[in-house]
Amino acid sequence: MSDVLIGELLSLAMFVTACGVLMLGFPVAFSLAGTALAFAFIGDLVGVFDLRLLGGLASRYFGVMVNEVLVAVPLFVFMGVMLERSGIAEQLLETMGLLMRRIRGGLAISVTLVGMLLAASTGIVGATVVTMGLLSLPTMLKAGYDPKLACGTICAAGTLGQVIPPSIALVILGDIMQGANTQAQLALGNFAPDPVSVVDLFAGAMLPGLLLVGLYITWQFIVAMARPKMAPSLELDTDDAMLGRVLGAMLPPALLIMAVLGSILAGIATPTESAAVGAVGAMVLAAVRRRFNVGVLQHVMQSTTKISSMVFVILLGASVFSLVFRGLGGEEIVHDVLTAMPGGAFGAMLVVMALMFVMGFFLDFIEIVFVVVPIVGPVLLMMGLDPIWLGVMIAVNLQTSFLTPPFGFALFYLRGVAPPEVKTTDIYLGIAPFVVIQLIGLSLVAAFPALATWLPSVIFR
């Protein structure tokens, strides 16, 4: 057996082993780095891996440290946690419910819209689903909503942060896609490739994200019209100042998010600069509403530190994994397999989407992006796929995976905070229509790439 074949087999075994270790519940970053180092030493023993390659980790880590784009991650996390902790999210739900109280399904539509705003500010599936579950699920059940529709609405709205900018998920994916595109273009002999940035991915994800929101609301309206008992209107006593209260609650956070995103898309500020403005703006909103104190700030800073540390430690562990994977020859076997797929680029894309969909049952978005995209991204881009379209497809695909029973992450997050009277079957049955909607949305983006590429071409041409 040749050394090349042995190395390729070891790279596949390393990938499978890492997935198995992660599914056992071990810490992600240490699982990736530990598995990679173990196989690096095995490869060295059999003469198919040069340990001197590990010396390249220093430059990789330094590249992470000086990457200005990644500074946006803790800033966006701070912004989202502050909006949540200061009670602004709860106030948004209450006032949005008042605004749509007389519309059948109005509360479900309100949850979707508020979930869109919260998701855009955090991009963390678990945090958004748990927050929405704690705040809105008891209210929806008390209003007479069918538990299945309520659970499906909350889970779907909570995962919108994967595709609606600005969010840390898109920041991370955009940075990885930028590196993958550069690597692919250099391999093709193009030494002056057109750059792909986080801003491009933000613009590309706007229309698909809004499309999903529109499809969610359309389904909720159809259900409310066809079966009014599942989504009744609310009869609430309100005063003449209701409109003022609604605007007072909704406009400031909406304007903050619009200002952050608008400054990025308009080219006025970088994602990092806009994230800093968003973080400061979230503190100002909390202070204006008298929800800002030392205790709140301490909690927000602690949560931001924990989440940001998790992201960057996973990134460092994934760097070890990708370096050893390439050193063993794994990149070559991935290239050979994908290029040999029937159907060319479409067949290769289909296989990668299916792989990521299954991995989304067991691994988080960040883990998949750090591990899988650097391996398959350059190969797919060398086959002529548009990097912005590919990034949006990955985001929507993983969002769908997080919703799909029986292993979807969002379902377990909601189960953890749902009241006892809500059955697990209610959650599964409730999310099923939204999974179909996700597949429709994913198919539309696949069939009409302009949904992802048109807006960037108009804004940045």
If we measure between CA atoms, which residue out of 152, 159, 116, 111 comes closest to residue 132?
111
Q: How far is CA 138 from CA 157, 322, 339, 410, in A?
A: 16, 44, 51, 18
Residue 246 lies in a domain: yes
According to the model, what pLDDT value does residue 216 have?
Answer: 94
CA distance 398 to 361: 9
Asked, for residue 35, whether it belongs to a domain, the answer is no
d(CA 369, CA 350): 17
For residue range 23-76, list pLDDT tens digits in order: 777 777 788 889 999 999 999 898 888 888 888 888 888 887 888 888 888 888
Q: Residue 419 domain-assigned?
A: yes
Contacts of 138 (CB under 8 A, 6+ apart): 419
Query: Helix, strand or coil for residue 122?
Result: helix
For the segment 19-28, what is each residue's pLDDT rounded down to a tens digit? Answer: 788 777 777 7
**SS3 readout for 252-265:** HHHHHHHHHHHHHH
174 with 197: CB under 8 angstroms? yes
The answer as to whether 444 is a domain residue is yes
Within a domain: 5:
no
What's the alpha-carbon Rg for the chain, to the nearest Å?
A: 23
Residue tagged 């909103």 (tokens): 285
With contact defined as beta carbons under 8 Å apart, do 304 and 78 qualify? yes
CA-CA distance, 270 to 264, in Å (whole number)?
A: 6
pLDDT at res. 243: 64
Q: Tokens 């792909």 correspond to what residue? A: 196
Q: Where are the beta strands (DSSP E) in 126-253?
A: none
Distance (Å, rounded) from C-alpha 186 to C-alpha 193? 8
Dump pLDDT digits (tens) for 428-450: 899 999 999 999 999 999 999 99
> What pTM was computed for the model?
0.84
What range defines the domain where residue 249 resides? Answer: 68-300+328-459
Residues 403-431: tens digit of each pLDDT? 887 777 788 778 887 888 888 888 889 99
Answer yes or no: is 91 within a domain: yes
User: Given this model, what pLDDT does residue 433 score?
Assistant: 93
> Does residue 351 lie within any of the structural domains?
yes
pLDDT in tens, 342-376: 888 888 899 899 888 888 777 777 778 888 888 88
Place of tokens 């599942």: 230
| pLDDT value at residue 219 | 93
Which pair of structure tokens corresponds to residue 346?
């479409």
* Residue 11 forms part of a structural domain: no
Task: Report the domain count for the chain.
Answer: 1
Q: How crowded is residue 443: how many other Cβ atoms within 10 Å of its Cβ?
A: 11
Residues in Cβ contact with 46 at an 8 Å cutoff, skipping those fewer than 6 apart: 6, 10
Mean pLDDT, the chain, as a whole number? 83
Give me 59's structure tokens.
């430059």
Closest CA to 183 of 8, 331, 4: 331
Tell me the pLDDT band of 101, cut-offs 50, 70 and 90: low
Burial group, residue 240, by CB count within 10 angstroms (0-12, 13-18, 19+): exposed
Q: What pLDDT, on the 0 to 100 scale, is given for residue 360?
A: 79
